[in-house]
Amino acid sequence: MSMGKPLPHDSGPLHVTGVARYVDDIPTPAGTLHLAFGLSPVAHGRIRSLDLSAVRNSPGVVGVWSAEDFDHMPDCSPSAEDEPLLATGTVHYVGQQVFLLAAESHLAARKAVKKAKFDIEELPALLTVDQALAANSRFESGPSIWTRGDAAGALAKSPHIVEGRMEVGGQEHFYLEGQVALALPLENGDMLVHASSQHPTEIQHKVAHALHLSMSAVRVEVRRMGGGFGGKESQGNALAVACAIAAARTGRPCKLRYDRDDDMVITGKRHDLAIGYKAGFDDAGKLTGIEFLHLFRCGWSQDLSLPVADRAMLHADNAYWLPHVRIESHRLKTNTQSATAYRGFGGPQGIIGIERVMDHIAHALKKDPLEVRRVNYYRECDVDQGPGHGHRYGGPHSPKAEELQPQTTPYLMPIEDFIGHAMTAKLSETSDYVARREAIREWNKTSPVLKRGIAMVPVKFGISFTLTWLNQAGALVHVYQDGSIRMNHGGTEMGQGLFQKIAQVAAGVFGVDAEMVKITATDTALVPNTSATAASSGADMNGMAVKIACEAIRERMAAHLAEKHQADPAQVRFADGRVQVGGADYSFAEVAAMAYQSRVSLSSTGFYKTPKITWDRVKGQGRPFLYFAYGAAVTEVVIDTLTGENRILRADILHDTGNSLNPAIDIGQVEGAYVQGAGWLTTEELVWNDKGRLTTHAPSTYKIPACSDRPRVFNVALWDRPNREDTVGRSKAVGEPPFNLGISAFLALSDAVAACGDGSVYPHLDAPATAERILMAVKRQRGDV
C-alpha cells in the first residue's frame, strides 16, 4: 500500500541536480521578447504626463504600451476588478505598473525601463491603519462585526480585566523562484501560457478576458513553482496578462520575469494589522467576556483582503471557548502594495490575538500560561480516535448531560473533534515542559545578562475555502495497456510534495508502487475550472478527485476479470502490483493489457466537492470548515538583554495530520512552517518610509530565517490518528496549520523579557520581535524608559 509510506519528494533528485524545470528554464523559441514594467515612483498622485520617447528609442526595444494604448484596460484583480494592468490617470502606490515594454533581451528591457520621465502631481497618501481609519478609507461601507452573547455586559461583571493593543507586521513571501510568465501565441489567436501560479484557472480567465477570447482558447500549464506560500495565488495575474497581450500584439512569444527588487516592490505581502483587545476573566484565568478590534492594512486594491480578514475573525478563538465575544474587523484602504494571500490566509493574525490575551491573563494572575490555556480550552466530547481510543472528555469524572453536547465557535460551528487536552498532555510530557519551566526560572535568577523563556501554544485551524464554490476539484487518470498510469489534477506543485502524495493515493487504489504513476503538469486543457492550490486543501480535494477517478477504472477492470472468471467483482483483489481473482494471479500490467484488448475504458475523470459546508459571511454564522487540524508547540529561547539579540534553543512539536499520506513530507512541512511562522514574528520586518517607499526590498535589508536560525534541538512528532471526517485516507491538511506553531517562539521571547523585571509590567511586545523591539521591551521592564 503506497498511502502512508514516507517516500521522498518526487522532484527531490531534480532539485539537487538542477534539472527540475521551472518557467525560466523552458527553452524559448527564437524571437522571444522580454518584458518589463515601468513603475510609479510616488505613493499617490495624478499622472500629468509620461514621456516614453527615450524608452522607445532605447536599443532592443520593440514595443511600448501605456494606458492610452488600450480602449479598455484589462483587469488583474482576483475579486473586485479594481486592479488595472497599467495605471489609468492615477497612481496608488510606489511600484504600481504604469507602462509596459517589450525588448529583444531581459537586460535591454531592464535598461530601457529606467529612461521614462514621469510628471506626477503628488497627492496625500494614507500609509498606516490609523490614517486610513481616520479618513474612513476602507473596502466595505463599515466594519464587519460578529458577536455571540453579551461581551460588554460580561466585561462589566468580570472580576479582572486586561486590555492592550498589539502591532503585528506583514511578511514577504520570498519564494525562491520569483514571479514569471511565458506566453506563446498559437493559431487562430489562441494562447498558451506557462505560469508560476497557484491558480491556473484564474490566469486562464484573466488572459481570456484581456484578449476577448473564450476560456477554451487559452491554455495554462504549471509544472511546478519554486515556492508560492500564497504569493502566487493572485499576484501572477499581471505578468500573464501582460505577456499574452504583448504576444497577441507582436505575434511573438513573450516572457516577463521580475527581478527580486521589483518583485518585492510590486507584489503584495501578508496583511499587517493592529489588534486591540479587552478581556475579562475570573481568578482561575477563565475568560468571561472578550472584545477584539482588528485593523487590517489592505493596500490600494481589494485583492483577497475580505476573505483574509474574515478568516482572522474565524480563528480569533483558536482553541478556546469564548462564551461572550465581540469581534470587530476593519478592512482599510492604504497607498501601499495590495496585501494578499499568505500561508494561513489570515488565520495566524486571528490566532496570535487570542494567544496574546492568554499570555497577558497569565501574567496578570502570576500563573503558568499553559494553566490558563487549559482552563479555557474547548471541551473534548465524543471524539473517536480509532481503535483503542474511545470517547474522550475534558475531565476524569463521568460526563454530565451538558458535557455530551459540543461547544460552538463564535460563528456557531460545533466543535466535535477537539483533541487539545490530550495533545497538550502528551507534548507537555515528551517535552518535559513543567520541569524545564522551573529550571529556566531558577537559571534566570543567577543570569544577569542572558535570560531564557519558554512557551507552549496550541493550534486549532479550520480546513476548507470559506468561499463555498471553491471547495471542488477535478482529475483525469489514464491507465495504459502496459500498466503505467498517468495522473492529472487541478492542484499545483510548489515544493510542498502535493504531487507525490496524490501519486501515492492513485497507486494505493490500484495496489501498485508509486513509481508506476506518472506525475504530469497541471493543465487547464486537461482538468477545467480548478480552484487555487490554497487553504491547505490541495491534497484533500485533488486527492479525493484522483481517488474517485482511479476507483472508476479499477471497478471496470475488476468487472472484466470477474466476468472472465465467473466471479464476484468484489472478490477481485489489487495489491502488491498483482491482481488476484479466484485461483488466478496476474500482474497489474497483464490485467491492463487484457482490459484494453477487450475494449474496456481505462480512462476516467473524477470530481469531488467538499461536503457539509454552509456559511453566511454577513451574519458570521455557519460551518465554513469540514474539520479542524490541531497542533501544539513548546519553544525555548534565550535573549541578550544588552543588545536584544536572541536565539531559539529548542522546539518540540506535536502536530495532527490524521492518517498521514506521507509522514516524511508532512514532517518536512511542519518543520518548514514552524520556521516560517517564527520568522514572521521575529526577524522579518517590512519597513516603509514616510513617502510610502518599501525600504526592505531586497535580501540585504529583509531578513528571512537562515539555516543557523533553526532551533538547535528540533523535535517533531505526528499525532497520527485518523480524521473523523471522510477525507482521502482519513488524512488531514498540513500546509497552513503548523505555521501557527511559530507563535510559541514569539511568546517565549515575551516570557524571557518578562524575566527582566519584577513581574509588575507586562512586556507588550509587538511583532516582529526584532532585536531592537526586544531591547526596548527589556528597558521598559527595568524602568529605563
Catalytic positions: 736
SS3 of residue 226 by DSSP: coil
Q: Pairing mode, if any, of strands 218-222 and 254-257?
A: unpaired
For helices 743-754 and 347-365, angle between their N-to-C axes, nearest 10 degrees: 30
Q: How far is CA 51 from CA 66, 92, 223, in A?
A: 11, 19, 40
Residue 739 is given by DSSP the state: G
Alpha-carbon span 215 to 192, nearest angstrom: 11
The grid coordinates listed for 108 are 535591454
The grid coordinates listed for 267 are 507584489
Answer yes or no: are the C-beta atoms of 23 and 254 closer than 8 Å: no
The grid coordinates listed for 434 are 513543567
Task: For the chain, give percent helix, strand, coil, nearest 5.
Answer: 35, 25, 40
Judge if the upstream peptide bond of residue 399 is cis by omega within 30 degrees of 0: no
Torsion of CA 744, 750, 753, 754, to 10 degrees: -110
Answer yes or no: are the C-beta atoms of 461 and 350 closer than 8 Å: no
> How many other CB atoms sit within 10 Å of the CB of residue 1?
11
Alpha-carbon span 330 to 308, nearest angstrom: 12
Nearest-Å Rg of the Cα atoms of the chain is 27
Answer yes or no: are the C-beta atoms of 608 and 541 closer than 8 Å: yes
SS3 of residue 420 by DSSP: helix
Alpha-carbon span 381 to 405, nearest angstrom: 7
> How many other CB atoms sit within 10 Å of the CB of residue 169?
20
